[in-house]
A and B are shown apart, each in its own frame.
Chain A
Amino acid sequence: MSKRVSKSGSITRRRLLATASAGAALAASPLGINLLQAQTAPIRIGMSMPQTGGLAGGGKPSLLGIEIWRDDVNAKGGLLGRKVELVVYDDKSSASETPAIYSKLIDVDKVDLLFAPYATVPTAPIMPMVKQRGLLLIGNFSFQVNSKVGHDMWFNNAPWGPPDSWATSFLDIGQKAGGKSVALLTADQEFAQNLVKTTREVAAKRNMPVVFDQAYPPNTVEFSSIIRALKAAKPDIVYVASYPPDSAGILRAVNEIGVGDNVKIFGGGMVGLQFGSVMENLGSLLNGVVNYNSWLPEKSMYYDGTKEFFEKYTKRAVEAKVDPLGYYLAPFGYASGQLVEQAINATKSLDQKGLAKYLRENTHKTIVGPIAFSADGERKESAVLQAQFRGVADKNIEQFRTSGKQVILFPESLKSGELVSPFEAARK
């Protein structure tokens, strides 16, 4: 027993010596090797992404889009001869998690570039931080998050454009169909409230009377009384800004009660009607609704690489168990990568100021169309689609892959059909 102890003791000493000398050799390694490593080390892009919590349904497909870009760019040999690597943390859909995560990305992981998490709430707390440190940030579908901060190195991948463009496009379509009065139905949540605020302002500018203006608490499930009150107000245009569970509740109530023959156009800002599972569940209840979207499988929406992207996405979405369609966010995640790819290739460097200057001054080709930025880092022109659901059958997700199920009414350049109005007729 005692022999064994002494033997293992001597081995430990020897090992210790060997380890120490190896450590010393490593520490004293020539500077040349380190420099070589820096040149061949991967370019690291850091981000947090909601993978649990309320925003996970959007965060996961968005991340998959970015991962597909990473694999494509690495297959082409990477950027500046270096592979691209993603450093991703889960922010649990919460604003209180992101400051620490981005500090870790910047100060500990020392990533080369930053992408923002999906959505406004997790992004808002990191805006002042990146501004203070002078870092480039590619936004991911957040809404007007830079309007107060005024960071000149912020570029949002979302097609939003000027803040009032959503309201303008929807009310335009409604007015052309003969609509005069407006009803507003809004969830008491961040995104919906931002949308309805601009709608109120645009309606006031155009002297369109708002005959019904109702906000409902988040998590409302029963809408029949609200829809009855809305119907009684006899509006021509109904603008709804809602979240996935309530979008479904509202459409179910409308199906039972109806909204009256006056209504020319119904929808506008209903979140959820862009996600495969929600659309599959609602099926024919969607018919007639005119709603915003970011990408749809209409002929006018295909650019260089779009088709190939969706072929890859469709395969990988099954493995990753995310939205099988992935139209709303995934191609824009890919486009975020394309933005930095073009900027890095053009400037031949990772200098954040140089990249920002390039992104601000040029138009960039992406799989979601050409992107140009205005001074606030949002799109110069809105590319938010307003599309009408047509001929949707129940319980069939595959039908949404064909064109004609969501006919694009706005913008003019991407239009793929005309509005069917009034709403009650379009529902049939």
Chain B
Amino acid sequence: MKRNGIAFWIGAALFLAAALLMTKVVSNQYPFFAGYVILQFIALAVAWSILGGYAGYVNFGTSAFFGVGVYSSVFLVKAFGAPLPVQILTAAAIGALMGFALGLLTLRMQGIFFSIATIALTIIIETAVTNWRYVGGAAGIQIQRPPVSALFDNYVQMLFFVQAVLVVLAVAISRYIQNSWIGRGLQALKDDELAAECSGVPTLRLKLLACVISGALLCAVGAPSAMYLQFANPESAFNLNYSVSTLAMSLIGGTAHWSGPIIGAILLGTTQQLLTVTISSEVNVLVLGVMLVLFVVGAPEGIIGLIRRIFRNRNEGRES
């Protein structure tokens, strides 16, 4: 366990160093634009998986949290000209509060009813923002980036690195949860909530905690997006595509282990980016759809489940 921990942190440090080195060495801008989007989806999928994977509460409200992150940044920039770290921290705080409120209101619902409630949340918040003229309302708002900090050559490279840091943060939290009493409790309530409650697992408190952490991370990931696009409108910020893609990435990767959503997001996110600049027509939507169906049929527990099954079969083969 301890050795694993050291390996994880060395891996994380290497990943961040590589991201930083990339901003220094690569002068072509495109890898940073495309990389930012992929990193954003990794962080979203990992954050989603804390509630959706470990606790089994399928949250369709990713776009609500993401959009709130975007708009909290828009508000902070317009009202106070706040710098990026303040935007991210504030978005995380708002996301945590939102997760807490959502949890209190909806976590007594289970299964599909919880999922429907989260879709409703997206619609309610999007409608509210659409009618909030200060942040542009339905027409959207263009925002100007401030000058970039001295460490980086341009803003997109900085955003790329910031998103890489958020990925490491999200993965570290997710990994900690999986290996701690929280993860074990969530696992228990995922298997049978009533049995878990009877065995003394504080189910509501655990679910609330998962909701708060997941919400804070989802919002924090959305915050830099305002600066990435330099434009925000409710339709793009609260686009259901974020919810669907995040869910698909987690499910394709597998939700049983913290690395599942990372694998899924890298696979699906990279495919999406590649398809956009290669096939680039209706066909790319079809390809994604087919991929989803194949994984649901062929690997219902995701890639992680598939790998485990292969290893198990091999081990059994050896024993016999």
Contacts and interface: CB of A to CB of B under 8 A. Distances in A.
A251 interface: no
A88 interface: yes
Interface in A64-119: 88-92, 94-97, 99-101, 103-104, 106-108
B139 A100 contact: no
Contact of B280 (A88, A103, A148, A188): A88
Contacts of B280: 51, 88-90
Contacts of A191: 139
A347 B30 CA distance: 31
B236 to A, nearest CB: 4
Given A96-B239, A103-B30, A121 B140 contact: yes
Looking at chain B's contact residues, the main secondary structure is helix
Among B34, B127, B139, B280: residue with most chain A CB under 10 A: B139
B127 A121 contact: no
Given A103-B30, A108-B30, A125-B229, A94 B239 contact: yes
A149 B29 contact: no
A218 B235 CA distance: 10
B142 A148 contact: yes
Given A94-B241, A100-B273, A194 B139 contact: yes
B298 to A, nearest CB: 26
Contacts of B276: 89-92, 97, 100-101
A104 B241 contact: no
A51 B282 contact: yes
B231 A95 contact: yes
A21 interface: no
Contact of B236 (A95, A188, A218): A95
Interface residues of B, number: 37
A189 interface: yes
A148 B144 CA distance: 9
B139 A193 contact: yes
Interface string B5-49: 000000000000000000000001110111011000000000000
**Residue from A92, A148, A149, A192 whose CB has the most chain B CB atoms within 10 Å:** A92
B283 to A, nearest CB: 9
A190 B138 contact: yes
Interface residues of A, number: 40
A100 B229 contact: no
A100 B156 CA distance: 11
A121 B237 CA distance: 12
B281 interface: yes
Contacts of A100: 30, 33-34, 36-37, 273, 276
Interface in A7-35: none
28 contacts: A51-B282, A89-B280, A90-B284, A92-B285, A94-B239, A95-B229, A96-B239, A97-B276, A100-B34, A100-B36, A100-B37, A103-B33, A103-B156, A104-B30, A104-B33, A104-B277, A108-B28, A124-B142, A124-B230, A124-B231, A128-B230, A148-B144, A188-B130, A188-B138, A190-B235, A191-B139, A193-B138, A218-B235
The 5 A-B pairs with the shortest beta carbon distances in the complex, nearest first, are A100-B33, A124-B231, A103-B33, A95-B236, A125-B229
Interface of A: 51-52, 88-92, 94-97, 99-101, 103-104, 106-108, 120-121, 124-125, 127-128, 145, 148-149, 187-194, 197, 215, 217-218
